[in-house]
Amino acid sequence: MRNISFNLSGKIDPLLSEVLGLVSREAAGLDIPFFIVGAMARDIVLELCYKLPPRRSTRDLDIGVEVAGWDDYERLSKALISTAKFMGTKEPYVLMYGDLRVDIVPFGGVSPDQKTISWPPEYAVIMSILGFKEAYDTSLLIRICDDPVLEVRVPTVPGMALMKIISWNDRYAERPKDAEDLLFLMDHYASAGNEDRLYGYYVHFMEEEGFDIDLAAIRLLGHDMAAMATEITRELVETILSGELDGDDDHHRLIRDMIGSSFTARERSDEIRGKLERLRQGFVEGLKGDDG
């Protein structure tokens, strides 16, 4: 029997269950592992699993698939289209299921350097896949439906945070919502199943932050991100955080995107800077293997 992290049977939109059932069936037939990523994963984990406040709604479904090469990816795409439920589009990674957009992003053997993928045949569309492997390997197993049984994987909160910061950096100016989502993950990490950890094994974070559980949780998030990341991903995330926190304030793009259109920009800037400093501190502590 597999270890189910959460049972959400009866709580998932029927359309989403239908789509995931088809993806699961076709992917299993080709022995291709997959997991839900993006905004839909965020909503499932934060709202349904941890009962956190809802974010902006999404009608898109993003799927990450671990494949040995582009041939496997092509076989999966064709298998989905052959169901007559999915339709191809001009974008190489987008299928439509009625009005639902389904983005299917491969990782694994399609990337020689395990950093980026470039889409055949023109190889003009380039996308970062750093963080995908780590997020999949540490993902949660969620039961979507009891009858028939349907189980899928979604990233943990640290896995989401890794993917968010890399996605934001990879497509800056196009993805300000990634920065907002990262801030939300930081602000709610204590409530995402981590209070016992903070009052237990990681109580030193609480003590050092004056028992401010929110700041201590941000350090723990950074620590957990570093613990799950590969060396290549660690180097990139550390570079992103250092680049955003060090130097001239005018170049702090991540802070600006997290603030959004706030009328109290200066106050919010100082507050968010402090939170990102804790995230970086926790990340560096995780790199050093500082487990208290």
| Residues 188-202: tens digit of each pLDDT | 999 999 999 999 999
pLDDT at 292 over 50: no
Per-residue pLDDT of 204-213, as tens digits, reads 999 999 999 9
Q: Are residues 60 and 123 in the same domain?
A: yes
Vertex 76 angle, CA 72 and 80, to 5°: 170
Residue 249: per-residue pLDDT:
61
Q: Are residues 18 and 149 in the same domain?
A: yes
Per-residue pLDDT of 211-264, as tens digits, reads 999 999 999 999 999 999 999 999 999 999 998 898 766 668 899 899 875 555
Torsion sign over Cα 267, 270, 276, 279: negative
Choosing from 105, 126, 155, the residue where a domain stops is 155
Helices (H), the chain: 14-29, 38-43, 70-82, 132-137, 157-170, 176-187, 195-198, 203-208, 213-228, 231-245, 253-259, 265-287
Residue 248: per-residue pLDDT:
65
User: Do the domain assignments include residue 47?
Assistant: yes
Lowest mean pLDDT among 95-99, 112-116, 225-229: 112-116
Rg value, the chain, Cα: 19
Number of structural domains the chain divides into: 2
* DSSP class of 56: S
Residue 36: per-residue pLDDT:
97
What residue numbers bound the domain in which 17 lies? Answer: 6-155
pLDDT at 112 over 90: no
In the chain, % of residues over pLDDT 70: 92
Q: Are residues 175 and 264 in the same domain?
A: yes
Q: Are residues 27 and 70 in the same domain?
A: yes
User: Do the domain assignments include residue 223?
Assistant: yes
Q: Are residues 142 and 174 in the same domain?
A: no
pLDDT at 291 over 60: no
User: Do the domain assignments include residue 229?
Assistant: yes
Choosing from 130, 155, 180, the residue where a domain stops is 155
pLDDT at 3 over 80: no
Residue 204: other Cβ atoms inside 10 A? 14
Of 118, 25, 105, 90, nearest to 60 (Cα)? 105
User: Do the domain assignments include residue 176?
Assistant: yes
Q: Residue 16 CA to chain centroid, in angstroms?
A: 18
User: Do the domain assignments include residue 236?
Assistant: yes
Q: Are residues 137 and 249 in the same domain?
A: no
Q: Are residues 137 and 179 in the same domain?
A: no
